[in-house]
A and B are shown apart, each in its own frame.
Chain A
Amino acid sequence: MIIDLKNVSVAFDSQAILKDLSLSIRNRDFVTLLGPSGCGKTTTLRIIAGFLEPDAGSVFFDGKCINSLPPYKRQVNTIFQRYALFPHLNVAQNVAFGLKMHKLPKAEIAQHVHDMLRTVNLAGFENRSVASLSGGQQQRVAIARALAVRPRVLLLDEPLGALDLKLRKDMQLELKNIQQQSGITFIYVTHDQEEALSMSDIIVVMDEGEIQQIGTPKDIYDEPQNAFVADFIGESNILDGVMLKDFRVRFAGVAFTCVDKGFAQNEHVDVVIRPEDIDIVPPAEGLLQGTITSSTFKGVHYEFIVDVQGFKWMIQSTDAQTVGDVIGIAIKPEEIHIMRKSRYSGTIGDYSCFSDEFEELSNPNEDTAEDTAETEESP
């Protein structure tokens, strides 16, 4: 373990921001902190970087407590949410800054700066002022500047948040490559769940200053631990259910076979079914019947909202359906996922007030990305 947070708590103005948070990060992993805005992701990074001392709990680096170690002595570097490049220095001087602070010989600094700029595809930009660079280029200067001092851990706070969609995809690949080649531990913050799923070794899902689940992308997607995680990662239909006995659950008024066990008899549970795991069949063949209330073409598949006894389901399928038609719903046992009740139960997972506009509102990050038209010129 390279970094250990043990029971860390932080409060601002007597409002708890991080609540007894514990997190262990393995050397060379790509770890993503994922959660809605204001859940404490940046605060967690600031604690690891040393800009903020926790009110309670400890931070360990390589097994040593570093609570009161100032930032400039930590082998941890940060890519800031808005890059924070030094406006009075040019590109090369920005990259050289950390090396100069560490008093390396001049020739070595020059060589290293040159190499770093090559790594991030900015060779030839040495003497440009940082204000004259595009967002993507500034981003890469920030990466080169942080990597130049050879940190053990790199903290990245929504580094791609301000870039447009295409550039963001390219940079995702580039970052992943850099991480694998350099062997540096990355702690990456995003509230874009797709980005988290595609890049990370480990995802840490946070909400309201608490960790909801830690696991591999596949774990998190397939085995969400509560309704919050299920809803935040991908689309989910979350229904109220009762465990009748092992491998048998009742929801929507019908008993289904499932693959979960170990619950008390008649325990109330949350049932998660992913929209893409539901099969549309003729009404007579389904255990449930519903009416299609809306249909949206999404490129590869259609997305339907289906009314089943007043509960709105989301179903994805490659076959077109007509709005108003009655369909049958079939679900295979292994597609039914059972979770214990949590404080999120009943508050999320119903698509009755769902619309695309609403989705955009709740995902501001993608909005800004599409609004900022970024033109990328390569040297």
Chain B
Amino acid sequence: MKNLQAKHRRSLLLNAPHLLWSIIFIVAPLLMVAIYAFRDRSGSWTLDTFRSLFTDKESALNLLFIFRSSLWYALLATAICLLLAYPLAYFMAHAGKRVQRNLMMLITVPMWMNFLICTYSWIAILSERGGLLNLLLARLHLPEQTILYTPKAVVLGMVYNYLPFMILPIYTVLSKLQPSLVEAAQDLGATRWQVLRKITLPLSVPGVISGVTMVFVPSVSTFYISKKLGGNKNQLIGDLIEAKFTTFSDRNGGAALSLILMVMVLLSMVFMRRLSKDDDGAYVAG
């Protein structure tokens, strides 16, 4: 009994730094957001902040539109990331050790750079006059492209910034896949294509799920990318929240919007979980 208590205390002690870290950096900010969302400027509890978001029809519609386009951009970016990342991760997992190391470097280097800098570089590349892309196209006698300050640029920025978060989990799952499973399938008469469809893809679902989550969640809440690459035409929910805090110095309104966004993200994560569980169910059924 005493022993057990001592053990318990020791594990508490060992976990203390982690616990402290979580409280300071995760729980406390969340609490702050919630507190601000349910208070007004004078500091008394109220639901008015939420109500005011939807009072007049125009601002409600506007908000709905912004939410919808944020969701749509995030979904598009996630889908593109998945389509690019899976083949690349597959190739990496099957390449030689040296190639794997080098590719890993290439993929992670952009993650070390500040993403503001990356985004500014994209402005330089995409800008209509003197942009690298159009200079190159002109050299090749191809028509000029207007990408900057269009939705394309926003999605491109998202894909560029979040692609590594899709590649890495898929690569991890694929490189841990037992080679003997693939061999067993070939042995039983599966062609390369059948092995991919019946063995590799189903077994890499967990990596895909975590990649999708890691790209979708930051994409849906991103700001700055849309502001800088999308011009002012394509405001997303993240930009709106930022504007509330900075331009309008309306902390309560910003907090309320953040809370709504958070609930949405949580719901979509639950949905994803459900989806992967259903997949497991599908294996059993047939």
Contact = CB atoms under 8 A, between A and B. Distances in A.
Interface residues of A, number: 28
B246 interface: no
Interface stretch (B7-15, B145-153, B186-194): B186-194
A72 B190 contact: yes
B27 interface: no
A145 interface: yes
Q: What's the dominant secondary structure at chain B's contact region?
A: helix
Contact of A86 (B184, B186, B187, B284): B184
Interface string A67-85: 0001110001110111011
B186 A70 contact: yes
Interface residues of B, number: 20
Contacts of B186: 51, 70-72
Contacts of B190: 72, 97, 101
A113 interface: no
Contact of B194 (A80, A101, A145): A101
B283 A80 contact: no
Contacts of B283: 88-90, 93
Contact of A80 (B180, B203, B280, B284): B180
Contacts of B284: 90, 127, 129
A70 B191 CA distance: 9
A325 to B, nearest CB: 55
Q: Which of B178, B188, B198, B199 has the most CB of A within 10 A?
A: B188
B97 to A, nearest CB: 13
A101 B189 contact: yes
A98 interface: yes
Interface in B190-228: 190-191, 194, 198-199, 202-203
A211 B203 CA distance: 40
Contacts of A71: 183, 186-187
Contacts of B184: 78, 80, 84-86
A95 to B, nearest CB: 10
B181 interface: yes
B185 interface: yes
Given A88-B202, A89-B283, A93-B283, A102 B178 contact: no
A351 to B, nearest CB: 40
Interface string B243-277: 00000000000000000000000000000000000
A87 B183 contact: no
B192 to A, nearest CB: 9
A41 to B, nearest CB: 16
A98 B187 CA distance: 8
A97 B185 contact: yes
Contacts of A81: 180
Counting chain B CB atoms within 10 Å of each CB, the highest count among A87, A93, A97, A127 belongs to A97
B183 A82 contact: no
Contact of B188 (A88, A90, A98): A98
A229 interface: no
Contact of A72 (B191, B199, B202): B191
Nearest to B178: A84
B195 to A, nearest CB: 9
A51 B183 contact: yes
Contacts of A86: 181, 184-185, 199
Contact of A97 (B188, B191, B203): B188
Contacts of A97: 185, 188, 190, 198
A88 B203 contact: yes
Nearest to B191: A72
A49 interface: yes
A84 B181 contact: yes
A70 to B, nearest CB: 7
11 contacts: A49-B183, A51-B183, A51-B186, A72-B191, A78-B184, A80-B183, A85-B184, A89-B283, A101-B188, A101-B189, A102-B189
Interface of A: 49, 51, 70-72, 76-78, 80-82, 84-90, 93, 97-98, 101-102, 127, 129, 145-146, 149
Interface of B: 178, 180-181, 183-191, 194, 198-199, 202-203, 280, 283-284
Given A97-B185, A146-B187, 11 more contacts: A49-B183, A77-B188, A78-B183, A78-B184, A81-B180, A84-B178, A86-B185, A93-B283, A97-B190, A102-B189, A149-B189
* Top 9 A-B pairs, shortest CB-CB distance: A98-B188, A101-B189, A84-B180, A84-B184, A71-B186, A101-B190, A72-B189, A88-B202, A72-B186
